[in-house]
Amino acid sequence: MRITPDQCRGARALLQMTQEQLAALSGVSLRTIAHFEKGERQPIPANIAALRRAFEEAGIEFIPENGGGAGVRFRTPRSLPS
């Protein structure tokens, strides 16, 4: 699933993460992230996958557009084994 510029900005906001921090975590250039979030360019699929992976590893879940609009949220915490 692709992520949108709005989802990228929203995920960063939930995590209180700067574009610089996202670049460092994902390996995607700061310039690419800035252009993507402004809607100026669509990154190559490998960069989108790297951004998504970085967010998901940080606890973000992407919500597909399913009639209510695409979004982001924190993943539900998993129960610890007893």
Confidence category of residue 12, pLDDT binned at 50, 70, 90: very high
Q: Is the pTM of this model over 0.85?
A: yes
Average pLDDT of the chain? 91
Residues 38-78: tens digit of each pLDDT: 999 999 999 999 999 999 999 999 998 877 788 999 987 55
Distance in angstroms (rounded) separating the CA atoms of residues 29 and 31: 5
Domains of the chain plus CATH, in order, are: 5-74 (1.10.260.40)
- Given a cut of 60, whether residue 25 has pLDDT beyond it is yes
Helix (H), strand (E) at residue 71: strand 71-74
Q: Among the residues of the chain, which ranges form H helices? A: 5-15, 19-26, 30-37, 45-57
